[in-house]
């Protein structure tokens, strides 16, 4: 298709090429939106929001590395991982809007909920830290999420099952990336070893929470929609042992900081959301 001038090229198709003011299409546009009989709508909503919040907040923390990564290839890698997780969050929020019957879109869940309504784990909120902190967090997060998504492929909710089947392919790459960096840094110089170990030590108190079930997760697991996070621990431990051994790092021996998706967050989430939500809240009538 050719255009005589730039303005025509931008507007010739209607507004579809403008980034602002067009309204993104529902990422699940045209996907069957019915909730299967026997599936509890409130639990499915809560479950999709938990997984969506984990992905959105983790994605935001990864996006903070844009222009701050140690090299260009790593910057591209982190942006790609952030984009995959943002896509997962969008699909999960769209599914939550079907499940709760409101038809609310992704913007409502991402931009117009308060900190206490976010049901993500605290691990993803923790401040950016240094590159050792980042890799420790990405290793823990992607190992846990891959084990979780893989168990959701046979979910009784077909949309959640399809989101999980896509996500498994993506997160398997994320986990390999984090694991290779962990080995390179852990089995690298004295300084890289020290900082990789310090990153693990700092994040480790928040690991136990990943395997602490919320009631909605337990009920979702029983009804065949979700997975009980407690069942993921053995696989997580086996992968972490393999990586830490190859990296000459030790598993931190620190007491857990108990928690569990109850809307109680670290102070870091409020600051993160203030930035993430500021533009949407300043222009609440805008479409994106």
Partner 1 sequence: MVTAVTDARAVAETVTDPELPILTLADLGVLRDVAEEDGRVVVAITPTYSGCPAMDAMRADLVRALRAAGHDEVEVRTVLHPPWSTDWISAEGRRKLADAGISPPGAAPRRARGPIPLALGPTVRTVRCPRCGSADTEETSAFGPTACRALHRCRACLEPFEHVKEI
Using the minimum distance from each CB to partner 1, give the nearer residue, 13 or 257.
13
In angstroms, give the least distance from the CB of 263 to partner 1.
26
Asked if residue 238 binds partner 1 (CB under 8 A), the reply is yes
In whole angstroms, what is the distance from residue 262 CA to residue 268 CA?
16
In angstroms, give the least distance from the CB of 169 to partner 1.
4
Using the minimum distance from each CB to partner 1, give the nearer residue, 166 or 193.
166
Asked if residue 80 binds partner 1 (CB under 8 A), the reply is yes
In whole angstroms, what is the distance from residue 203 CA to residue 140 CA?
9
Instruction: Tell me which residues in 240-279 interact with partner 1 (CB under 8 A).
Output: 242-243, 246
In angstroms, give the least distance from the CB of 264 to partner 1.
29
Q: How far is CA 84 from the centre of its chain?
A: 9
Query: Which residue from 90, 98, 195, 265 is in contact with partner 1, where contact means CB under 8 A?
Result: 90
Instruction: Tell me which residues in 140-179 interact with partner 1 (CB under 8 A).
Output: 146-147, 150, 158-159, 161-163, 165-170, 172-173, 175-177, 179
Asked if residue 91 binds partner 1 (CB under 8 A), the reply is yes
In angstroms, give the least distance from the CB of 56 to partner 1.
12
Asked if residue 97 binds partner 1 (CB under 8 A), the reply is no
In angstroms, give the least distance from the CB of 84 to partner 1.
5
Asked if residue 61 binds partner 1 (CB under 8 A), the reply is no
Query: Which residue from 30, 37, 70, 284 is in contact with partner 1, where contact means CB under 8 A?
Result: 30
Interface residues with partner 1 (CB under 8 A) are: 13-14, 16-17, 24-25, 27-31, 73-74, 76-77, 79-81, 83-88, 90-91, 146-147, 150, 158-159, 161-163, 165-170, 172-173, 175-177, 179-180, 183, 235, 238-239, 242-243, 246
């Amino acid at each position: 298709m050719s255009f005589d001038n730039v303005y025509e090229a931008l507007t010739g198709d209607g507004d579809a090429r403008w980034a602002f003011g067009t309204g993104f299409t529902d990422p699940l546009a045209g996907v069957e939106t019915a909730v299967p009989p026997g599936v509890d709508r409130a639990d499915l909503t809560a479950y999709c929001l938990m997984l969506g919040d984990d992905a959105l907040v983790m994605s935001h923390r990864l996006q903070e590395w844009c222009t701050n990564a140690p090299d260009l290839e790593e910057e591209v890698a982190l942006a790609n991982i952030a984009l995959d997780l943002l896509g997962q969050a969008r699909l999960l929020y769209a599914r939550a809007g079907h499940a709760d019957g409101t038809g609310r879109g992704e913007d409502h869940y991402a931009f117009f909920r308060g900190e206490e309504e976010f049901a993500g784990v605290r691990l993803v909120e923790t401040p950016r830290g240094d590159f050792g902190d980042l890799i420790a967090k990405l290793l823990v997060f992607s190992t846990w999420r891959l084990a979780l998504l893989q168990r959701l492929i046979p979910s009784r909710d077909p949309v959640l099952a399809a989101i999980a089947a896509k996500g498994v392919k993506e997160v398997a790459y994320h986990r390999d990336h984090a694991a290779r960096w962990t080995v390179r840094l852990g089995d690298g110089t004295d300084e890289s070893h020290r900082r990789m170990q310090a990153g693990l030590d700092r994040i480790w108190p928040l690991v136990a929470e990943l395997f602490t079930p919320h009631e909605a997760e337990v009920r979702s697991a029983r009804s065949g929609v979700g997975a009980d996070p407690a069942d993921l621990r053995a696989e997580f431990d086996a992968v972490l042992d393999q990586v830490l051994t190859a990296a000459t790092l030790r598993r931190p021996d620190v007491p857990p900081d108990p928690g569990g998706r109850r809307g109680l967050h670290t102070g870091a989430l409020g600051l993160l959301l203030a930035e993430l939500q500021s533009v949407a809240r300043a222009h609440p009538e805008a479409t994106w």
